[in-house]
Chains A and B, each alone.
Chain A
Amino acid sequence: MTAMVDLAFLLLTFFMLATNFKAEEAAEVETPKSISDTVIPERDIMMITVDDSGRVFFGIDNRDSREAMIKKIASANKWTLNEDEVKAFALETSFGMSFGTLKRWMSLPPNEREQIPQTGIPCDTLINELPQWLVQGRYAHKEVKGTDLRVVIKADKNTKYPAISNIIETFRELRIHNFALITSLETDPRDDN
């Protein structure tokens, strides 16, 4: 009997640890429901997260790509970054800061970084920093892994439409015509017949 109990605890510990592999998300988002049952691809995704107040977060799921991306962004905007700052950035799976805030964030020591509020990447008609991230992210990933990234939007069901519309317009400008929206599964009403 004690052997069975030992096994039970072992399995329990395993699953408790296994479920923690999901990355820490920058913002809580409740996605809308849809009948679409296409499953999200395991890797090579570029995720744009939008919370209900319209803050835009951006992330790629591959750490090396993130490193390459920040280096490209740095050279495009004429910043100088040292190795620690690059590594610090590459650790975050998703972030939402304007260029200025990001630069400051990277230069701070780790314990002070939480102090900076993540107000989202500016993505409106006045300032739009999203195109740079999208473009450099694609190039970086292509360099590192040789494959193309799929663009995916994960937005809260209560996000006001203008925030989404700005993102879709940004895609149009960059000639990204194929993307996907993350949704939770609901039963197809046609199946009830």
Chain B
Amino acid sequence: MAELDTGGGGGKKGGKPRGKKASTRIDMTAMVDLAFLLLTFFVLTTTISKPNVMPVVIPPKVDPNDKEEVEPPKVAETKILTLILGQSDLIYAYPGILDPASGKSPEVLTINFDPKKLRTLIKERQNIVKGQFGDAKELIVLIKPLSTSRYNNMVDILDEMNISEVKKYTLAELNDNERELIVAQKEPENVQDIAK
């Protein structure tokens, strides 16, 4: 491989007496290897750093003079699935409308972001909606993040909407009935149950 020859040449110049110099030969293979390694590294890192974006559309502000709930009032209840994002990456999910006063209390499922749980739940709901209304796309998902949830939870849910091809979803605020529900649910003992 390439070599540097520093010293052997001095002895060649004829005539003048020169002292004996030990000829040193440097093998540059290692340095070249390192140079190519660093080069490959930098070439590759420039391609990785391009960030991706996830577009988000939010509904316009509800007029405060209009006292109606955020959920559109004329929608069939069975089309709605509510996902409340809580702390420690937990999701409280329930179908339909929560209204203890009128006796409607759907079962609240506590799950986490495990695809086997979340994705299957959404798929189930889509199948039910498809059976009743003929089109899985009629499913409406209301996403209500609590103040104890992380931004990562919100992005994961929006991502899940894309993966499961849910077309109708929105970020919304908790209503009063849900607030009571959350206070009742807020315990870490649930974490052991769903962690399995």
Contacts and interface: CB of A to CB of B under 8 A. Distances in A.
A155 B153 CA distance: 12
A165 interface: yes
A172 B172 CA distance: 13
Contact of A162 (B31, B54, B147): B147
Contacts of A184: 51-52
Nearest to A180: B53
A15 B46 contact: yes
A155 to B, nearest CB: 5
Given A2-B2, A12-B35, A172-B61, A182 B52 contact: yes
A34 B51 CA distance: 11
Interface stretch (B133-141, B154-162, B177-185): B154-162
Interface in B156-178: 156, 158-159, 162-163, 171
Contacts of B192: none
Nearest to B149: A161
A5 B45 contact: no
Contact of B46 (A5, A19, A171): A19
Contacts of B146: 161
Interface residues of B, number: 45
A33 B162 CA distance: 13
Nearest to A155: B151
Contact of A181 (B45, B56, B171): B56
Nearest to B50: A39
Contacts of A159: 150-151
B42 A16 contact: yes
Contact of B54 (A19, A22, A38, A164): A38
A126 to B, nearest CB: 16
B159 A157 contact: no
A168 B58 contact: yes
B42 A12 contact: yes
B109 interface: no
Given A159-B150, A162-B147, A183 B54 contact: yes
A37 interface: yes
A18 interface: yes
Given A164-B154, A189-B163, A177 B58 contact: yes
B6 to A, nearest CB: 13
A4 B28 CA distance: 12
6 contacts: A34-B159, A36-B54, A40-B50, A165-B145, A180-B55, A190-B163
Given A8-B36, A37-B52, A161-B149, 4 more contacts: A32-B152, A161-B85, A181-B53, A183-B155
